[in-house]
Structure 1
Amino acid sequence: MRIVIRADASISIGTGHIMRCLTLSEQLIARQYEVIFICRDHQGNMIDFIRNKGYQVFVLKKSDLTENQEDGYLSWLGAEWDTDAQQTIEYLNQIKGIDWVIVDHYAIDWRWEERVLSYRRPTQLMVIDDLANRRHTCHILLDQNLSLNSTRYRQLLPDSTTTYLGPTYALLRDEFIHTHKKVGARNGTIKNITVFYGGTDLTGETLKVVRALSELPLDQIGIRVIVGPNNPRRLKIKEICRLLSNYKIEDYVSNMAELMLQTDLFIGAGGSTTWERCMLGVPSITTVIADNQKEITEAVEHYGATWNLGECSKVDETTIIQAVRYAVTHPLEVYKMSMRCLDVIGDYQGPSVIIDRMASLKKGDDINV
């Protein structure tokens, strides 16, 4: 099969959409399928990163449109939806024998999807989403997030769409799948803490946490702080960490699964790393740093698999200090959280069943809208 992925990264969007698409791509490549990306040249894009992974990338030119907060996710596309669709179609027409188009973008909905499908029959379309806030026209939909509302896509999809819902289908890299087999019982004692808020951290949560931790008597606890390359406060964070002997700061790590396995408490955001943490039974303290993280974090909190501090605008250093102090002094509660993380993942299926479905669907099947 030949698959084209339409996804973006930017300062506003972050890196999560591209990273999970790359995870899926690795699984597709392992089956000898071909994967091609189409990305817009936003500020903070990952086009070179994708190319360095060996993938061909078609680039949609940078738009003159500026982000408008009132437009919400729509402004993340960097163009009007019909313009983006037409530009994508022009590239699709240059690629022969496309079997699937995969879309992972909060600014794309049924209008874009129907436009692309009408121009590229008999290509089929898969959507990766976790908002459930707009209609889609697609053959497959994947939402890997945990939700307390199991019917939230009922009115948003054609009856013929195959859905894969929940973290049992989470797009996790092989390192997490393999490391999952090594997970043993934790006793709840905290000897190592990892802090990571993604590659950008525009709201400054990493700096907030580092300052909070420096106020606690944690000399006997190893603290690893991972600062993404686009973090605007990275120099200040490094300055503080260098003064503390038990702190280790890193710009990037390539062995996150191994580090999580060694971590007794993870402090971070409620994004895609949630499922990586749950896969390895890592207890966590979570801050919601984006609207699309609120529902997932509340659902995980409901199952007792994280301590949710709430939205970042309401979280201060005192809140973090109280949460960490409680974790350090209540090992039994930390242990229980670890067990609940593993329960959330359940019988992990991963992307393999989705790829099986992609391969089994007859090319050109119509969607019954």
Structure 2
Amino acid sequence: MDAHPDTLTQLARPHRKAVLVALLWITIVAGILFGILNAMKGAWVITWVEWGMSLYSAFLLYSVRKPRQLERWILAYIFPFFIAMMVALATPKASVTVFGWVLLIPLVGHLLLGRRLGLGVSLFFIGLALVIFLNRFHADTVVMDPRSVANMVVLTACITVFSHVYEVSRERSEIQLLKMAQTDFLTGLPNRSRIKVFFERERSRAGREQQPLSLLIVDLDHFKEVNDRFGHEAGDRALVFFADLLKHRLRATDLAGRLGGEEFGIILVNTATSTAIQVAEDLRRALSEADLQSDGQPISLTMSIGVAELGVDGNSLQDLLAAADQRLYQAKDQGRNQVVPAPVTHGPAGAPSPLV
């Protein structure tokens, strides 16, 4: 399962908010302190920059309580912060030690912006800081001592690389944990949690693009008899076999998941009821004709399927599950091994239309 970019953003949001709040407090306190110290030295340009950044950070600290706009507040902080840093570096009265703040750029950039944008922003401002450094001290033989310059370059490069590697590792770990939390341990199919996330995303897309969306609920017929006759281990193998069948028969854009026991849910993207019925019939025939055995004895599997469509049967996952589940039990009552879609009536011109 590849994590959607929006999902990654949601995962990183609490982490980034905590980092942002901490940085805002540090910026407020440090800005006041260094502003006073620079004022005592008569460096009024950098003094007002420091105090202005403190006031601005206090405003952001108040505003960041709105989590939905967190990414905007991060950008609203990080660019003025780095620009203020560049102004401080370029100030003639600022000492060479102020360039030590450059080491914060890759750390802050990656922690707040992630591995891609964080790396890009970090490299840009580090490069700008290097230009400012060379412009200010190119004629100073003491400052431009090759050993000192090499130490700063290597140290900055190490922190940039370590920050990037950390973000890559953290992102991969969160994706892996999310995958484990949203995957059925036996079949490897998505579980209810993942089905819900997928449905919400595809429902929004279907609304924007005016596309249909259908849901199938599948239940393996007489599965208890399989467990009783062949054993639970054979029953587990049968479930895995069916899961593999779903993976090979469905499109990459669709999603099949295990709802529990021998019940499965399938979301068919850009698919109306008429096409969903065809998909369901194809799955039903494929399973009934499948060659599944246990210790040389054939295991006969069939399934009953209920079909529901977004808009026709409701607009929430709960609505569609309820409608498809009702038709699934209707298929059971009618003898199993069949597909039951929404009932249809005929409109004025004789064309079939769904009942709503």
TM-score of the superposition, structure 2-length normalised? Answer: 0.25
Larger % of strand: which?
Answer: 1
TM-score of the superposition, structure 1-length normalised? Answer: 0.25
Q: For the pair shown, which has the larger CA radius of gyration, 1 or 2? A: 2
